[in-house]
Amino acid sequence: MEEWVDAFLLHLQNKNFSALTVKSYRADLAEFLAFCKQRGINNTGQFTSALIRTFLAALQTQHQPARNTILRKIASLRSFAAYLLEQGELMRNPFKLLPAPKRQKILPKFLTLQETEQLLNTAAHTKMSARDRALFELMYSSGLRRSEVIGLKVQDVDFFNGIVKVFGKGSKERLVPVTDTALAAIKDYLACRPSPQPQDALFLNKRGNPLTGDGLAYIFRNTTIAAHLVRKVTPHSMRHSFATHLLNNGCDLRSLQEMLGHKSLAATQVYTHVSVEKLKSVYRHAHPKCKE
């Protein structure tokens, strides 16, 4: 079964799945293979509904993971099963009669406008202030995913039209608007670098190498601490903040969907929640008794 897992992961890479998606599938399937190995299971013919049920039960007993984590592992195994069916390694789909738990609805965690300004101001006063200011301003300006930010090249920023060319999930290209503030910060950062070339990575680490996902997470962690923010802030928090603030200020869902690079509108609708302060503001202006 291990050889088929390797073939499946290679298949995903050839289909242009994102590196983060492949990494998640690899981790989930490695956990499943370890479970099978402990029980002397080593061939695809033993990949049955009963085995999947036993695996999921063991997960919940040992680790008690969140429901959405279980769903992600199910999705990994379901995709692997679909691949084996296509290759003729399975005669029947082990997920056909296997009910999946419903996804837990979790509202995105976003920063207030004040917290966002606090973070942006702090980023402008770090040891690598030119880079960090450009990085944070761009992420808040355009709501990019972590993988999209670290994948940017110098040539992807169109200063004349005020847009950035992004390669999202499945290597799908989209154009996203950028604020003048973010463009100015990027110009200042590039001016500090020795002859940046169009094909060079837009953001570099302190050693001059392309910034990695872990490096970006490290920058966010340190900047959050320096900003004295109590809550945990991640690159995705900035994306959530971008989406929430746009909606709170009148942006329509379709436009937001395009900017975020969501395949379906349903994925964007999670951002239709609004902050308590926004609700209070609408309430005060709309309720007759509040106008007396």
Active site residue ranges: 145, 169, 236, 239, 262, 271
Q: CA–CA distance from 24 to each of 19, 75, 146, 167, 185 (Å)?
A: 9, 11, 15, 19, 33
Long-range contacts of 165-172 (CB under 8 A, 24+ apart): 166/142, 166/261, 168/261, 169/18, 169/21, 169/145, 169/261, 169/263, 170/16, 170/17, 170/18, 171/16, 171/18, 172/261
**On the CB side of 59, how many CA atoms lie within 13 Å of its CA?**
22
Q: Minimal CA–CA distance to 233: which of 149, 163, 136, 142?
A: 136
Buried b (16+ CB within 10 A) or exposed e, 221-230: eebbeebebe
Q: Give the Cα separation of 123 and 128 in Å (integer).
A: 9
Q: Which two tokens stand for residue 98?
A: 């296997």
Q: Give the Cα separation of 76 and 95 in Å (integer).
A: 12
- Residue 28 makes CB contacts below 8 A (sequence gap 6+) with 72, 73, 76, 77
Q: Which two tokens stand for residue 276?
A: 């308590």
Q: CA–CA distance from 149 to each of 37, 96, 196, 207, 290 (Å)?
A: 38, 38, 17, 18, 45
